[in-house]
């Protein structure tokens, strides 16, 4: 159960984070399909793979994966996938219905999806994380960023522009806060409330002790690692009326 919760949390906060904070948007890496597939119609193997990678990203960003509270099983091709593939088909003169079916069957045969949902909780999926290679493909119309050419089409649902400019990512860890933050050693930040509404009173005293860190019970009952509090959220009047240290 712990691994299932962890997978879902990583997907929600890292792989497919909202507001263009997913790992591909910030320039860290992208999910790459590693299952078996044949190139579609006149497309090259690389272009076919780019379409599959972009569809995986779209499924994730639209919350089509197991373990997500907004999971959306679908019998028909999801709207966002359909609009992206429609633009790809138009650009490359492809059969749209055939392209949709090819994507669906390729994913289903690999065990990646069921009812258009990524089977995130099963493990051993045909996916790998590909670090950026120093280049981003940025939509000229909406500035949406991709780490692979995406078959020449922006995946953003309200855009699907067909001009993607290549830009260097040499300074991504200096220019983007979240990219820079990913290079730092993880640190704990435990925050608790301490106000007049904190009840019972024993909870107030306990949080003061854990914040000060100088009155913990002997191990293994309590320890700084598991019980310590790094910051207290208090009212401006400090109605608890005690010195809780600095």
Residue 147 class from Cβ within 10 Å (0-12 exposed, 13-18 middle, 19+ buried)?
buried
What's residue 33's pLDDT?
A: 98
| Alpha-carbon gap, residue 73 to 114, rounded angstroms | 8
What's residue 197's pLDDT?
A: 86
The residues with which 121 forms a beta bridge, in sequence order, are none
What's residue 242's pLDDT?
A: 54
What's residue 213's pLDDT?
A: 86
What's residue 96's pLDDT?
A: 97
Dihedral sign, CA of 103, 138, 186, 227? negative
Residue 65 DSSP label: B
What's residue 170's pLDDT?
A: 67
For the chain, residues with pLDDT lower than 70 are 170-172, 236-246
pTM for this one?
0.75
Q: In the numeric block, which tokens belong to residue 229?
A: 């509090």
What's residue 169's pLDDT?
A: 81
| Alpha-carbon gap, residue 154 to 88, rounded angstroms | 9
What's residue 236's pLDDT?
A: 63
């Amino acid at each position: 159960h712990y691994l299932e919760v962890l997978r879902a949390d990583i997907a929600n906060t890292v792989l497919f984070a909202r507001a263009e904070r997913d790992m591909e948007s910030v320039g860290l890496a992208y999910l790459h399909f590693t299952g078996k597939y044949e190139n579609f119609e006149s497309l090259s193997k690389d272009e076919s793979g780019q379409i599959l990678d972009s569809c995986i990203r779209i499924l994730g960003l639209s919350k089509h994966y197991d373990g997500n509270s907004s999971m959306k099983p679908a019998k028909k091709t999801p709207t966002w996938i359909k609009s992206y593939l429609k633009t790809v088909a138009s650009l490359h003169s492809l059969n749209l219905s055939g392209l949709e079916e090819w994507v669906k069957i390729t994913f289903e045969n690999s065990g990646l999806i069921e009812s258009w949902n990524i089977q995130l909780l099963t493990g051993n999926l045909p996916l790998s994380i590909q670090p950026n290679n120093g280049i981003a493909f940025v939509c000229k119309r909406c500035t949406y960023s991709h780490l692979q050419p995406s078959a020449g089409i922006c995946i953003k649902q309200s855009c699907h522009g067909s001009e993607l400019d290549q830009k260097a990512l040499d300074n991504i860890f200096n220019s983007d806060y979240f990219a820079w933050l990913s290079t730092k050693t993880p640190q704990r930040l435990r925050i608790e409330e301490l106000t007049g509404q904190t009840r019972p009173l024993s909870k107030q005293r306990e949080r003061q002790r854990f914040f000060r860190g100088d009155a913990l019970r002997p191990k293994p009952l309590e320890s700084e690692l598991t019980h310590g509090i790094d910051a207290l959220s208090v009212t401006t009047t400090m109605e608890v009326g005690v010195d809780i240290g600095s």
